[in-house]
Structure 1
Amino acid sequence: MDPADLTDILTAVRKFVRDDVVPLEEQIDAEDAIPDHIIATCKEMGLYGFAIPEEYGGLGMSMVEEVQLAFELGWTTPALRSLFGTNNGIAGQVLITGGTEEQRRAWLPRLASGEVTAAFGLTEAEAGSDPSSLTTSARRDGSDWVLNGAKRYITNALVADVVMVFARTDPDAPGNRGISTFLVPAGTPGLSFGPRDHKMGQMGTWTSDVYLDDVRVPADHLVGGEEGLHNGFRIAAKCLSHGRTHIAALCVGMADRLVHESIEFARTRTQGGRPIAAYQLIQGLIADSVTDYRAGRALVLDVARRYDDGTDRISGPSVAKYFASEMVGRVADRAVQIHGGSGYMRGVPVERFYRDVRLFRIYEGTSQIQQVIIARDALGPAARG
């Protein structure tokens, strides 16, 4: 992307986020919904397709460009990014990474425009960060595949036009082998959804269970065609690697907002006749958060560069996601502490962010899974005994 074009996009997104979305944060949190006019603006700005290649109607951002966009999106409620996050990320990347050309041309332009919303159906009750125990099944029946099973905590499932469902196509294959991915359009008989989950935070982001009861799809809905058979884990791993880098950048953007809120409060809140910013213990909290934020930003940009040049798409994204998700939790905790009692009250941004950021240490691979990936990459075969 031309640097001038990137600057224009980042400037426009920054203005939109801060002028249009930030004033609605309390409303979004209270109503658990993003206003329709905000959704429409996101579509007009091309945000539903920022990571989708230009040949399919997207903006075609590199990872370095994408993380800079995520820095801007992180300034506000993460529910905004979730509107179009799956189209660009873990769901859209299924097709970019593993789809046939026909599948890409049929779906990606509509994902990029926002005409279609996709969901990523991997997680199950007993298969989260480690999909080796995945039990959703798919069996061949003539020219169709028949899917049975259930998925849990699926973002955007209730508004999705298509769900990328991961299912076991070889019941005898061990562990992560024998898994395939299927395109399951909304409205397919046997596909249904549970009620909206009631979460700790990230209001406005809808998640729910997905149920598959003898869901029948044609053979051309197998992602990647026959070459994609039993290749689902490889596709999922690549999608999650991309997603982890993006989530790390989002965490950095949220840390930036939390540092801003902490500094402004410390400058204006008085205690003992002077601003609390004058007290060294408050200064220490601020210094730690500024350091955390800057370290996270530098790390994410470095990981994004290595992702783009292909030198590290495994350990690096895990390092970034692990550090940034833990980091923003520390920054949020300090922000509440700096605000004192007011930081514990609904309607104060740092209280809401404190609830919102907790999820980042869990989804797209828990911090503990990132530790395993990082350590195994560093230690090699010795890590497996």
Structure 2
Amino acid sequence: MALSPTELFAIDSLLSEEERTIRETVRSFVDIRVRPHIADWFEAGTLPARELAPELGRLGLLGMHLEGYGCAGTSATAYGLACLELEAVDSGLRSLVSVQGSLAMFAIHRWGSEEQRREWLPRMAAGEAIGCFGLTEADAGSDPAAMRTRARRDGDDWVLDGSKMWITNGPVADVAVVWARTDEGVRGFVVPTDTPGFTAVEVPRKLSLRASLTGELSFDSLRLPADAVLPEVTGLRGPLSCLNEARFGIIFGALGAARDCLDATLAYAADRSIFERPLSSFQLTQAKVADMALELGKGLLLAVHLGRLKDDGRLTPEQVSLGKLNSVREAIAIARECRTLLGAAGITLDYPVLRHALNLESVLTYEGTSEVHQLVIGKALTGEQAFR
């Protein structure tokens, strides 16, 4: 009997019964509800986020690793496994969930006031309200300190001016967590998207993450009350802490895309006959799938280890960078190699591999490029700052 890569590495032996149950629940949901439609959504460049969000909320997947306010309060490892199953269908689906829970909800949960938590988190956990996270700007990606969006005090109010770019969920969000420069340093603001002066337009002509709603946010003399500011943090520590939460989900999620590519390729190679033999019977095919299974398995072992460290409160930002760098780099390599085994069939939406490869080009860049994570690890190893 042929083994799956996860069976080869006995990954299930490292997981609790509850973690396996959560994983299987998410896998069953996405296989039934999303997988039959995802190629069409990708081709059309859309995602029915407003329809999916309440369903994801009923499963407890939105902010699932947070405590209270209607959140499920699961382990970090269970959250990672959920991200893996979501991204095994499409990176856009995992992005919807991780931006909601690990960026927008986490920011309010960790740095917000009790009033902000009570107002937004229960609705966001249920999928009744969708959130986005406004940090990146057109000219301020890897260097968020270069942001130009600014908030100034005007009496008791704040007035926000500027724009944000590449914002997942932006076109359909009910609330945006927006980071801006102030005279006090960088501050975060909870911004209802129906506030006058707020506009969001969808980014057109994407070749990656097409089954994801990506927007450009603009703020034109947008007036906010004094209690819109996140009170518990000043400086880049706030948004960077949120990014670490989301990067953790990517450590698992990218491996889901890789697993789906490899599963599809193994099935194709078993069925495809060439020179009167199954494609899977050739030495080069077996060498390729062996190498890919090895990298996938090593990535899963690292991801579970980092999940355990996070559950113990011992995970460091440098270790998150290790995981994100490894998972995304290996996942995109696996997707590309799988495409070679599928031949011409691999460039169609009948198979998931090129769709995953295209999506992973974005995952490779967002929430810290590979080069940024290399420098984070390099600083940890040498003690020298190389960013500037």
Question: Is TM > 0.5 for Structure 1 vs Structure 2?
Answer: yes
Is the contact between residue 52 and residue 108 of structure 1 (CA under 8 Å) also seen in structure 2?
A: no
Q: Distance in 2 between matches of 1:367 and 1:97?
A: 27
Tell me how far 1:15 sits from its aligned partner: 1.1
Match of 2:236 among 224, 233, 238: 233
Residue type of the alignment partner of 2:219? L
Write out per-residue CA displacement over residues 76-104 of structure 1, whole angstroms, 9 at most, x where no aligned residue: 02222233322211111111221122221
2:63 aligned with 1:49, yes or no?
yes
| Residues 7 and 346 of structure 1: CA distance in aligned 2, closer, same or farther (over 3 Å) | closer
Is the contact between residue 244 and residue 321 of structure 1 (CA under 8 Å) also seen in structure 2?
A: yes
2:40 aligned with 1:27, yes or no?
yes
2:271 aligned with 1:268, yes or no?
yes
Q: Give the equivalent residue in structure 2 for 1:97.
A: 110
Computed over aligned residues only, the root mean square deviation of the Cα atoms, in angstroms, reads: 2.0
| Residues 39 and 381 of structure 1: CA distance in aligned 2, closer, same or farther (over 3 Å) | closer
Is the contact between residue 77 and residue 353 of structure 1 (CA under 8 Å) also seen in structure 2?
A: yes
Q: Distance in 2 between matches of 1:232 and 1:119?
A: 19
2:92 aligned with 1:85, yes or no?
no
Q: Give the equivalent residue in structure 2 for 1:71.
A: 84
Secondary structure at the counterpart of residue 110 of structure 2: helix
Secondary structure at the counterpart of residue 88 of structure 2: coil
Residue type of the alignment partner of 1:67? G
Secondary structure at the counterpart of residue 264 of structure 1: helix
Moved more, 267-276 or 94-103: 94-103
Secondary structure at the counterpart of residue 350 of structure 2: coil
Is the contact between residue 265 and residue 342 of structure 2 (CA under 8 Å) also seen in structure 1?
A: yes
Match of 1:154 among 144, 149, 167: 167
Q: Distance in 2 between matches of 1:211 and 1:376?
A: 35
Give me the TM-score of the superposition, normalised by structure 2.
Answer: 0.91
2:351 aligned with 1:348, yes or no?
yes
- Alignment identity in percent? 34
Is the contact between residue 121 and residue 163 of structure 1 (CA under 8 Å) also seen in structure 2?
A: yes
Q: Distance in 2 between matches of 1:101 and 1:199?
A: 38
Which structure exhibits the higher relative contact order, with contacts defined as CA atoms closer than 8 Å and separated by 6 or more residues?
A: 2
2:122 aligned with 1:109, yes or no?
yes
Match of 2:195 among 178, 181, 188: 188
Residue type of the alignment partner of 1:299? L
Residue type of the alignment partner of 2:242? C
Output aligned runs, 1:139-178, within 5 Å.
139-170=152-183, 178=185
Tell me how far 1:332 sits from its aligned partner: 0.3
Write out per-residue CA displacement over residues 197-242 of structure 1, whole angstroms, 9 at most, x where no aligned residue: 3211222201111101101101101012xx53xx141111111111
Q: Give the equivalent residue in structure 1 for 2:73.
A: 60
Match of 1:179 among 172, 186, 189: 186
2:208 aligned with 1:198, yes or no?
no
Q: Give the equivalent residue in structure 1 for 2:7.
A: none
2:124 aligned with 1:121, yes or no?
no
What runs of 5+ residues in structure 1 fail to find an aligned partner? none
Residue type of the alignment partner of 2:300? R
What runs of 5+ residues in structure 2 fail to find an aligned partner? 1-14
Q: Distance in 2 between matches of 1:382 and 1:322?
A: 18
| Residues 34 and 89 of structure 1: CA distance in aligned 2, closer, same or farther (over 3 Å) | same
Is the contact between residue 84 and residue 117 of structure 1 (CA under 8 Å) also seen in structure 2?
A: no
Q: Distance in 2 between matches of 1:378 and 1:100?
A: 37
| Residues 311 and 42 of structure 1: CA distance in aligned 2, closer, same or farther (over 3 Å) | closer
Q: Give the equivalent residue in structure 1 for 2:300.
A: 297
| Residues 383 and 194 of structure 1: CA distance in aligned 2, closer, same or farther (over 3 Å) | closer
Tell me how far 1:4 sits from its aligned partner: 5.0
| Residues 201 and 381 of structure 1: CA distance in aligned 2, closer, same or farther (over 3 Å) | closer
Tell me how far 1:382 sits from its aligned partner: 6.8
Is the contact between residue 176 and residue 191 of structure 2 (CA under 8 Å) also seen in structure 1?
A: yes
Is the contact between residue 321 and residue 377 of structure 2 (CA under 8 Å) also seen in structure 1?
A: yes
| Residues 99 and 311 of structure 1: CA distance in aligned 2, closer, same or farther (over 3 Å) | same
Is the contact between residue 153 and residue 197 of structure 1 (CA under 8 Å) also seen in structure 2?
A: no
Q: Distance in 1 between matches of 2:382 and 2:371?
A: 16
Paired residues in the alignment total 373
Is the contact between residue 260 and residue 352 of structure 2 (CA under 8 Å) also seen in structure 1?
A: no
Q: Distance in 2 between matches of 1:86 and 1:269?
A: 39
